[in-house]
């Protein structure tokens, strides 16, 4: 049996709270596992709880750049104490949207680098948020021996994509790829052994899926669209996604 993977979804978000049993049943029925990423201490705690409920939930805990100015030590301690239970560290990264000064961006960088060090220490994959900061992130990554890196919702240029490929990063594509020609071009230029798929739920997509909260069961449709872009058979791409996901997760 082939397993598909949603490489980046926030199942710990309150948007999903009442739907978790339905989501779990859907994951089992469709043979989909989910990398459940976190934002802060509260969501990381919830993510760990979800991971205890089902082995289909692969818990990633960490501090999102939006939360870098908050208390981060509690999350770092949680990573340290639960390193045997977690599948990875995320969502981490940089984003100038969430900073108002150079000092705040420096703090964001410190939080990001600390989590890369923890990923290196515990041999864990990372899920990285890189909006408007891809160049900075691609400069930082070579300084750390992180076993596998995902640049989630990749939105860079062809040149940045090539650098990411040179660094052996994974890149993921989500519902936007269904209608965005730019994303389809990036997908076609990426190394096939570095491609993953995601929903980034609970994001809503106004131009596809009727603006519904992203659900894990969107994943087969995303893979189907990607198979057309890559001129591959759907089942063949499912196998590629499974293999890529398992390498990314160090399974």
The dihedral sign for the CA sequence 94, 186, 223, 171: negative
Contact criterion met (CB below 8 Å) for 66 and 248 = no
Q: What is the DSSP letter of 217?
A: G
Q: How many CB atoms are closer than 10 A to CB 18? A: 8
What's the number of domains the chain is made of?
1
To the nearest 10°, report the CA torsion of 99, 100, 103, 109: 10
Backbone angles phi, psi at 231, to 5 degrees: 55, 45
Which DSSP symbol is given to 12? T
158: domain range? 4-248
- The span from the CA of 235 to the CA of 232, in Å, is 8
What CATH number corresponds to the domain at position 111?
3.20.20.140
Q: What is the DSSP string of 146-172?
A: -S-EEE-S----HHHHHHHHHTT-EEE
pLDDT (tens place) for every residue of the chain, 251 residues total: 899 999 999 999 999 999 999 999 999 999 999 999 999 999 999 999 999 999 999 999 999 999 999 999 999 999 999 999 999 999 999 999 999 999 999 999 999 999 999 999 999 999 999 999 999 999 999 999 999 999 999 999 999 999 999 999 999 999 999 999 999 999 999 999 999 999 999 999 888 888 889 999 999 999 999 999 999 999 999 999 999 999 999 99
Nearest Cα to Cα of residue 112 among 153, 154, 146, 147? 146
């Amino acid at each position: 049996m082939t397993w598909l993977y949603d490489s980046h979804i926030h199942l710990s978000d309150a948007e999903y709270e009442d739907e978790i049993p339905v989501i779990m049943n859907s994951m089992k029925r469709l043979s989909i596992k989910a990398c459940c990423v976190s934002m802060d201490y509260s969501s990381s705690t919830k993510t760990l709880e979800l991971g205890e409920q089902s082995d289909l939930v692969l818990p990633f805990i960490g501090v999102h750049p939006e939360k870098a100015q908050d208390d981060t030590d509690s999350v770092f301690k949680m990573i340290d104490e639960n390193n045997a239970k977690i599948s990875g560290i995320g969502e981490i990264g940089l984003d100038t949207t969430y900073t108002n000064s150079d000092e705040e961006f420096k703090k964001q960088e410190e939080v990001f680098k600390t989590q890369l060090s923890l990923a290196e220490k515990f041999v864990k994959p990372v899920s990285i948020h890189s909006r408007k900061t891809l160049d900075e992130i691609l400069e930082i990554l070579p300084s750390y021996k992180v076993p596998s890196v995902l640049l989630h919702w990749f939105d860079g240029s062809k040149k940045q994509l090539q650098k990411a490929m040179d660094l052996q990063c994974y890149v993921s594509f989500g519902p936007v790829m269904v209608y965005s020609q730019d994303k389809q071009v990036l997908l076609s230029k990426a190394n096939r052994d570095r491609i993953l798929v995601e929903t980034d739920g609970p994001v809503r997509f106004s131009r596809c899926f009727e603006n519904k909260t992203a659900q894990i069961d969107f994943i087969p449709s995303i893979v189907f669209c990607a198979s057309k872009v890559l001129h591959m058979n759907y089942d063949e791409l499912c196998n590629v996604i499974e293999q890529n996901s398992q390498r990314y997760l160090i399974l």
